[in-house]
Amino acid sequence: MKQTPFTAKHIAAGAKMVDFAGYNMPVSYTGINDEHAAVRNNAGVFDVSHMGEFIIKGEHALDLIQRVTTNDVSKLTAGKIQYSCMTNENGGIVDDLLVYCIEEYTASSGKGGVYMLVVNASNIEKDWDWIEHHNTNGAEMHNISDKTCLLAIQGPNAARILQPLTELDILNLKYYSFVKGRFAGIDNVLISATGYTGAGGVEIYFEDKDGNAGKIWDAIFETGAPQGLKPIGLGARDTLRLEMGYCLYGNDIDDFSTPLEAGLGWITKFTKNFTAGEYLQKQKAAGPDKKLVGFEMVDRGIPRHDYRIKDAEGNLIGRVTSGTQSPTLGRAIGMGYVSMDFAPIDSEIYIEVRDKMLRARVAKLPFVQQQS
């Protein structure tokens, strides 16, 4: 298994370690419910250095990213971020990702055009090959995944706890924007108002060199531990994102689900040409056959990935993609694809759990209110 620069820190903190996307990662420290509550109510630190980062630059960078992603990258200005996805020829989702505009391209000077793409750990090689395959105009590409550290400090008090470590104004950093500068005595740290928890907070990117990882980790906890800041594992990361209805690649979205089926029509812009654009326009006009919905259990039971979803007569109408016991709500929740007749809010559906038909109802997403 691969290690992140923080692996020794996790083990020293007593984390339970698991193999995740080929990395030795912490799944929990003090327990998922405890860590979940820490992030919702205060702040916690996630090591997500296993994620992939690509730099795409040069005069053809914008054109390349426009062709391989569904969202309109031309709307980005320097310091802004966009959530997007890449689709294959059949409309399936190759991956979902973040696009950072580091520097805009200026035609008059012929300079600029620098973007960072942040992709899922399990898809790094696949995504790189996909983008490279479409790089017909010679955009400059750099895979910086192995030398990039990424920590997500999430929770309503995260920015306040971290502010003493930098002169950058992160307290007033707008959602889906970023700044770059000195943090905890380290230069060229990128701090973005993004995350995968819906609890507010920031993510910080920096190069793994000269002991930067240890210095930043120690500085964060020296400042934050007295204020209740805790290290958080992947278990709570999953329950937090599910409460927000955020998709997990490989569960809720994959190469065989389209963004329109997954409720990602808002990042699918038909004002430009992109892979599967025509296919998805036809699907939009005809209407998808299935839709990703959130649901709450009415009967007692926990929905799990790939459990079957049925109607009252026992007919198969879909499958569960994600499910858990919500620590915030105190009841079981899940997401899954269902046929369109059962997609409206409050539709009654049944989850097959150990040969029992348990009642559930389609619910509005997110399950909990997003914090800023």
Count of beta carbons in the 10 Å neighbourhood of residue 187: 11
Q: What is the pLDDT of residue 372?
A: 63
Pairing between strand 332-339 and 348-353? unpaired
- The full set of domains in the chain, from first to last, is 7-48+146-242 (3.30.1360.120), 53-143 (3.30.70.1400), 245-363 (2.40.30.110)
Q: Residue 272: what are its φ and ψ, rounded to 5°?
A: -145, 170
- For residue 112, the model assigns a pLDDT of 74
Compute mean pLDDT per 10 residues along the chain, 372 residues long, and list them. 97 97 97 98 98 97 97 97 98 98 82 93 98 97 98 98 98 98 98 98 96 97 98 98 98 98 98 97 98 98 98 98 98 98 98 96 96 70
Q: By C-alpha distance, which of 129, 122, 84, 132 is closest to 269?
A: 84
Q: What is the pLDDT of residue 111?
A: 75
95, 120 in Cβ contact below 8 A?
Answer: yes
In angstroms, rounded to a whole number, what is the distance separating the alpha carbons of residues 172 and 194? 13
